[in-house]
A and B are shown apart, each in its own frame.
Chain A
Amino acid sequence: MNVFEKLASSEEMVSPGISACVGCNVELTLRTVMRVLGPNTILAIPPGCMGGVGVVGWDKKSGCKNPVFFPLLDNVASMLAGIKLHYEHRGEHVNVVAFAGDGATVDAGMQCLSGAAERGDKILYICYDNEGYMNTGYQRSGSTTKGAWTSTTPVSPQGKGGKRQNKKDFPMIMAMHDIPYMATCNPAFIPDMVGKVEKAMAVDNGLAFLYIYNPCLTGWGIPSDKSIEVSRMAVDCSFAPLYEVENGRYTLSYTPKKPLRVQEYVSRIKKFSHLGQEEIEALQKLTDTKWQQLQKLCEMD
């Protein structure tokens, strides 16, 4: 079955109407991922965009056809570990999945995630990185790119400001936990994402982590129809490369055929519009260094 047949023939698990922003690629990611995961899935949605748009539901109604709940912002992985222990104790297989933003993953929930990874809790943790606490008004997170405007790292009319620190390289942090499977994805590469979700689902000897880079249209300042186009540019300039780490083996999923400069990517995004030449060059240098590191890791046996 090709990816079109797979997605078309699988059941839509999320409510058809959720109040995600027009063109939101996190909504695209969630719907795609849930079509692959299917009804035998318990889904954790911590406070954040997807919780805010109704994926867990309101009052007495649900946002999904499968079981779904709100963990706390800081304990997603641990609650899932407990749920998984229950089903393992009974010898029943259930997909136990987190769909969490970078706030819940890279910041507040990092302790629980790191502990679960170290213990080998058999959960699938999917992080959608829109580089901030977007649902509550675009506050910065540890995953926000250096220089970016956010509501808590704003920019003066003279163009001074933006986040002062580099972005946490979270996929690499998770890879270094030596978990069985870590992969980066992008909403502009849906067939690649589907394959990686299937691989992650099949992991039965530890934690599987999927990291999805989701440019936020409203929070970053990208026109809604350019959602996929700009997401693709993030991969094509190697700012958000696609790779997999399977049992310690690093492989590139995609090498850009026509590599872009970081400048071209950044110029499409309003939150970077105040950046000077120096800052953009620094971002290019950082991207180049990380790309080289990744290449070297992929060369290893």
Chain B
Amino acid sequence: MKYISDYIVPIGPEGLYIVDTGKWRTRRPVMNESTCKKCGICFLYCPVFSVERRADKSYTINYDYCKGCGICANECRFGCIEMVPEEER
């Protein structure tokens, strides 16, 4: 008998289950770093933590898992983030 699993009981010890949510996007946030005031609001409120804080306290967007929700653009008080249509892949 060939088993699918080495385990006798339902456990998940083989690493993380990851959904490629970056592929969900229909629009992407684009940050204008020159006008960014580094307030950190976008960092605090991105639900997938796609806004990353650099060592020099500036912020950048990582597009790996960004779903394009637009919260960062909506919360930014200085208009530094714009939602643009996601390009064809």
Interface residue ranges, A against B (CB under 8 Å)? 3-4, 7-8, 12, 15-20, 22-25, 27-28, 31, 54, 56-65, 187-188, 190-191, 224-229
Contacts and interface: CB of A to CB of B under 8 A. Distances in A.
Contacts of B64: 16
Contact of B75 (A8, A18, A54, A229): A229
Given A16-B64, A224-B70, A229-B75, A63 B17 contact: yes
Nearest to B20: A17
Contact of A16 (B18, B68, B69): B18
Query: Per DSSP, are chain B's interface residues mostly helix, strand or loop, or mixed?
Result: loop
A12 B47 CA distance: 12
Interface in B38-62: 40, 43-49, 52-53, 57
A62 B43 contact: no
B14 to A, nearest CB: 5
Nearest to B75: A228
A190 B24 CA distance: 26
The residue among B20, B24, B47, B70 with the most chain A CB atoms within 10 A of its own CB is B47
Nearest to B16: A15
Given A17-B18, A17-B19, A62-B15, A7 B44 contact: yes
A27 B48 contact: yes
Contacts, number: 108
A215 to B, nearest CB: 13
A18 B5 CA distance: 24
Nearest to A29: B47
A19 B69 contact: no
A200 to B, nearest CB: 19
A194 to B, nearest CB: 9
Given A60-B14, A224-B70, A226-B74, A19 B21 contact: yes
A15 B74 CA distance: 25
B65 A16 contact: yes
Contacts of A58: 12, 17
A18 B70 CA distance: 18
A4 B55 CA distance: 11
B47 A225 contact: no
Contact of A8 (B20, B22, B53): B53
Interface of B: 5, 7, 11-22, 24, 40, 43-49, 52-53, 57, 64-65, 67-71, 73-75, 83
Contacts of B70: 23, 224-225
A236 B48 CA distance: 25
Contact of A60 (B7, B22, B73): B7
Of A3, A16, A191, most buried by chain B (CB within 10 Å of CB) is: A16
Contacts of A225: 69-71, 73-74, 83
A291 B7 CA distance: 53
A133 B87 CA distance: 35
Given A7-B44, A60-B7, A190-B45, A23 B16 contact: no
Given A4-B44, A62-B15, 16 more contacts: A4-B43, A16-B18, A16-B48, A16-B65, A17-B22, A23-B67, A23-B69, A27-B48, A57-B17, A60-B14, A61-B15, A62-B17, A187-B45, A188-B45, A224-B71, A225-B74
Contacts of B73: 225
The 7 A-B residue pairs with the shortest CB-CB distance, nearest first, are A225-B70, A23-B69, A28-B47, A61-B17, A8-B53, A17-B19, A57-B12
